[in-house]
Amino acid sequence: MLGGTRWVGRRIAQAHLERGAEVTCLARGEGGDAPAGARLLVGDRVRADAYDGLAGEWDEVVDVTRLPAHAAGALDALADRARHWTFVSSVSAQRLEGAPVGAGEDDELVPEDESGEEYGGAKAWIERVARERLGERLAIVRPGLIGGPGDESGRFGYWVARLALAGAEPVLVPARDQPTQTIDVRDLVAFLVEVAPTRSDIVNAVGPTGRLHDHIALARELAGHTGELVRASDEQLDALGIEHWAGPRALPLTLPVELGSHAQRSSARYRAAGGTHRPLRETLEAVLADERALGLDRPAAHRLSRADELAAIGSLASLS
C-alpha cells in the first residue's frame, strides 16, 4: 500500500488486512498510523531510497498518489515485482466542461500535467505512464466525489452537519436544483479490495446521480432541522462571494450549470463489475454521527463557516 495512513488509503489497508492479507504501508507517517496489523515503512517517496525496504515480490500494489514524481518512482522500483497494480485515479482526469450526461470511462481526458500542479492532469499523466509500464497487470479506478465517515474535508458532510448545527435557525441553500453524485467510501474500498485486483481495465467508481434538493431534504430530516431554508439564486451567491464545490466560502456539492454533467457520469461498468451503492440515508446517518463527534461547527477547508453563512443571509435582502 503506497500510503495507508490517511482516510481512503487507511481504509484500503484495513480492508486488505480483514481479508487475511499481509499489508505493508509506505508513507511518511505524518498523516497518522497505519492500521493495526500492517507494517508501516516510513519513507518519503521523493527520495531514491524510499523503496529500499520493499524487497521481494508483491501480489498487489495500490497507489493513491496524485503526484507524478511519486508514481514514477514507485513504478521504477516495483513494477517488475508486482503481480497486479491498482491505481486510484479520479474522474477529474476526464474533462469537466463539455462532457455529455452519462459519460463513461472512454470520454476525453484532460491535458496531462507531469508537474503535478493540475490535479486532473496529474492523474491523467499517471494513468498513461502506469499503463505503459504495467500493461494488463494494471487496474485504474476513478472515483468521483467520495463521502462517508472519516472525511475531514467538510464537503459531503456539510449539509447534514450545517442543518444539525442550525437547529431552528435559518440555513442558506441554492435556489437552483442540480445533480449530485457521491460514492460512499465503504463501497469504494470494497470495490478496490475485492474487485479491482481481478481487473485490467478502467472503471469509474461513481455513485448514483441524485438531486441536491433531495439530498438537502433528507439531511434536514435526519438532522432534525426546523428552521427556514433561505434560497439564493446563482447570481445572488456570486454577489456574496460564495463559491461552488470547494473552498473556504463554498456551498459543497454545488456546481456551475456548465459543469452539471460532472455529477452525472455513468456507473454502468462499476455496477457490472460488482460495485455496490448503499442508500444515501445510510451514508448520511453515518456521516452525521461522525460530524457530531468531530464538532458540527469545526473549521473545514471546503465549507462556508456558520458566521459567514449568517452574514450572507443577512445581506440577501439588499440583493433582491
| Whether residue 77 has pLDDT greater than 90 | yes
pLDDT recorded at residue 154: 83
pLDDT level of residue 196 (50, 70, 90 thresholds): very high
pLDDT recorded at residue 190: 99
| Beta-carbon contacts of residue 111 (< 8 Å; ≥ 6 apart) | 118, 121, 124
Please check whether residue 243 is in contact with residue 251, taking contact to mean a CB–CB distance below 8 angstroms. Answer: yes
Q: Which tens digit of pLDDT belongs to each residue from 22-31?
A: 999 999 877 7
Query: Which CATH code for domain 148-180+209-260+278-319?
Result: 3.90.25
**7-145 falls under which CATH superfamily?**
NAD(P)-binding Rossmann-like Domain (3.40.50.720)
- Helix, strand, coil: what percent of the chain each, to 5? 40, 15, 40
> Which has the closest alpha carbon to 2: 80, 81, 88?
88
User: pLDDT averaged over the chain?
Assistant: 95
Q: Which tens digit of pLDDT belongs to each residue from 34-74?
A: 999 999 999 988 888 999 999 999 999 999 999 999 999 99
Q: Which tens digit of pLDDT belongs to each residue from 258-315?
A: 888 989 999 999 999 999 999 999 999 999 999 999 999 998 888 999 999 999 999 9
Q: Which tens digit of pLDDT belongs to each residue from 219-272?
A: 999 999 999 999 999 999 999 999 998 888 999 999 999 888 989 999 999 999
Q: What is the mean pLDDT of residues 115-141?
A: 98
Indicate the domain borders of the chain.
Answer: 7-145, 148-180+209-260+278-319
For the chain, percent of residues with pLDDT exceeding 90:
88
pLDDT recorded at residue 153: 85
pLDDT-wise least confident of 24-28, 166-170, 189-193: 24-28
- Grouping H, G, I as helix, E, B as strand and the rest as coil, residue 317 is helix
| Whether residue 152 has pLDDT greater than 90 | no
| Whether residue 146 has pLDDT greater than 70 | yes
> Which has the closest alpha carbon to 309: 135, 163, 198?
163
pLDDT recorded at residue 107: 95
Please check whether residue 203 is in contact with residue 275, taking contact to mean a CB–CB distance below 8 angstroms. Answer: yes
pLDDT recorded at residue 320: 67
pLDDT recorded at residue 60: 99
pLDDT recorded at residue 97: 84
